[in-house]
Structure 1
Amino acid sequence: MSGFPKDAMRMLKETSRTFYIPITFLQKELKHSVASAYLVFRAIDEIEDHEELSNDVKYTILMQVSELFKQPFDNDEYVRILGETKDQMPEVTLRLEEWLQACPKDVLSIVMDAASEMAFGMAKWAKENWEIRTREDLDDYTYYVAGLVGVLLSELWEHYGEEETDRELAIAYGRGLQAVNILRNEKEDLVERDVSFVPDGWNRAKLFEYADENLAKADEYMKSLQKRSILLFCRLPLALAHKTLKAMKEGQEKMTRAEVEQTVKEVQIH
């Protein structure tokens, strides 16, 4: 991967088991764009997920970071925004400027716009303590943390002249993956963070329905893709989401490592 920092790929591998492999399927420019975008999103995601920061602190930091993405990135200002929380932040968050520098210049504004919107949405929901009351709330939250990634990917496919895709289906693709994560981490979120992403009056079956509905749209999204490298990229996270959902419906907590490895192989054969 000439011209792209090796260290960025190392960090990608360390922070994402689901996306590292699919990213390696992509062609050069697209690979660099998606890898750097993922690291930028991960950097702000770690602020939202931080276990030791209060919601007010998260809100303040994320709102300021959202504004920061609207102009050429100023790392001194970023360090100032993080302030005393800097010592508690993981490496991926502290090195945000490097991930932006690694991004191909012609798509940097696309990535920064998406990151700004994501940080804004995360800030909003941190302030609300992620109190998801209605289906609309769930749709809003899953849009900011995952649907938006679907939109960004669609914009990148289009920018490089590879694919034209339906934005609504792209959002559903991201939402479907996030719904599976919510189901998988439901107990943990409640116990460790005292947070529930389940709307009032919903039971687990209703959440399964929500995941199924969005994954069905994600399957539709797949039908519009032509280019093999992009198909491979999108196919793996979706296959893992479908299989994880099936495993949970059958009472397992998640897929086994062997099942994951088998899925990676299957995806590449078709």
Structure 2
Amino acid sequence: MNYHDENPSADLAYQKTILGSVSRTFALTIPLLPPPIEKVVGNTYLLCRIIDTIEDAAELAPEAKYHLSKLFLDAVLGKIPVTSFVSPCLEALKNYPNQDELDLISHTPTVLRILHTCPTNDQLAIARCVSIMSEGMSHFHSKQSQNGLSDLNEFEKYCYVVAGVVGELLTTIFSNYCPEFAKNIKGQEALAIAFGQALQMTNILKDSEADQARGVSWKPRDMSESELLQVAYQKLVESLNYILLIPKPEFGIRRFCFLAFGLAVMTLNLITKRDSFSQTQEVKLSRKMVLAFYSFTSIAANSNLIMKLFFRLVGARLKRASTA
């Protein structure tokens, strides 16, 4: 199957443009990475976003989502022509409201062409990530309910297939690029999973009311809010330890990770300030706050001490709430 195109610069221009349309946050963070891995991580995000779009389509039955996810995975792995995924997916999502995400699906051939220009080791890691995420999300979405997940173990597994596996993938990409980081992370790979899980747990807590309104819960049914915050806080502790393993000369990678980490800390801090909230908007960071923190990371990511102080100060309320 030939994914190559005569105009790779046009493909990369599309990737950059659509990234800004489907995620303002990642459009802000991914360009912080060194150019050789900015392309790889941006491409990975778009592949994951296609899976998310299928899973987020409320009008689709679980069986239809499973079928489309399987077609997508087969297209990524080169088992079927990419058009065998795109056509039925666009037909199934013809009433889907987000036009940018539909545009991304229609450009799956472009995304896969870029993937096949990435280093072979990165391609293998991306294929592994997409496989685990696609199959894992299909499994969990087939049994979604308003009652939530059965226990903490299932909750952590869900957070792994949605985001922990992305933490593993980033670690592989960073390690392929930076041998010193590869050496530092050896034996501490679990921190990478915790980094991804912390971000996902933040999203679940932030979106819990909106999820509940559409008849879904991803929280464990036998745990209180403070118990969940305690788990999230511990994952954030491990996330910071992960970031501190990134060598200081790799400033772009450190800043990319610290920005995602800090926004999660600030979001959970907002959640702890409210006894209850009925809309995600109430606990969503304002654009002004995001941009202010973005500027702060240009200084903080250079200093282990400043990053630790930030977490101690901004995470203090969260720490208290998690032990309440």
Task: Name the Cα RMSD after superposition.
Answer: 1.9
* Greater displacement, 155-164 / 117-126: 155-164
Which residue of 258, 264, 271 corresponds with 1:241? 264
Could you tell me how far apart the structure 2 residues matched to 1:67 and 1:5 are?
23
Instruction: Summarize the alignment of residues 163-202 of structure 1 with structure 2, pairs less than 5 Å apart.
Output: 163-164=181-182, 165=185, 166-192=188-214, 194-202=215-223
Rg larger in structure: 2
Which residue of 68, 74, 78 corresponds with 2:81? 74
Could you tell me how far apart the structure 1 residues matched to 2:132 and 2:80 are?
15
TM-score (norm 2): 0.77
Could you tell me how far apart the structure 1 residues matched to 2:113 and 2:35 are?
16
Contact 1:147–1:171 under 8 Å retained in 2:
yes
- State the 1:81 CA deviation: 5.1
- The amino acid across from 1:128 in the alignment is K
Could you tell me how far apart the structure 1 residues matched to 2:82 and 2:285 are?
40
**1:253 and 2:275 matched:** no
Secondary structure at 1:74's aligned position in 2?
coil
Q: Percent identity?
A: 25
- The amino acid across from 1:105 in the alignment is C
Could you tell me how far apart the structure 2 residues matched to 1:269 and 1:18 are?
19
Instruction: Summarize the alignment of residues 75-224 of structure 1 with structure 2, pairs less than 5 Å apart.
Output: 75-79=82-86, 82=89, 84-88=91-95, 90-103=102-115, 104-106=117-119, 107-129=122-144, 131-162=148-179, 163-164=181-182, 165=185, 166-192=188-214, 194-224=215-245
Contact 2:152–2:220 under 8 Å retained in 1:
yes
Q: How many residues align?
A: 268
Could you tell me how far apart the structure 1 residues matched to 2:90 and 2:198 are?
35
- The amino acid across from 2:157 in the alignment is D
* Greater displacement, 177-186 / 103-112: 103-112
Listed one character per residue, the Cα deviations across residues 171-208 of structure 1 (whole Å, up to 9, x for unaligned) are: 1001001111111100000102x111111221211221
Secondary structure at 2:283's aligned position in 1?
coil
Could you tell me how far apart the structure 2 residues matched to 1:221 and 1:236 are?
13
**Which is bigger in relative contact order (C-alpha 8 A, separation at least 6)?**
1
- State the 1:247 CA deviation: 1.2
- The amino acid across from 2:46 in the alignment is L
- State the 1:17 CA deviation: 2.1
Question: Structure 1 residues 75, 177: CA separation in 2 closer, same or farther (over 3 Å shift)?
Answer: same
Contact 1:73–1:97 under 8 Å retained in 2:
no
- State the 1:80 CA deviation: 5.4
Secondary structure at 2:15's aligned position in 1?
helix
Could you tell me how far apart the structure 2 residues matched to 1:45 and 1:88 are?
16
Could you tell me how far apart the structure 2 residues matched to 1:197 and 1:159 are?
34
Could you tell me how far apart the structure 2 residues matched to 1:254 and 1:84 are?
33
| Gapped regions of structure 2 (runs ≥ 5) | 1-7, 97-101, 275-281, 301-324
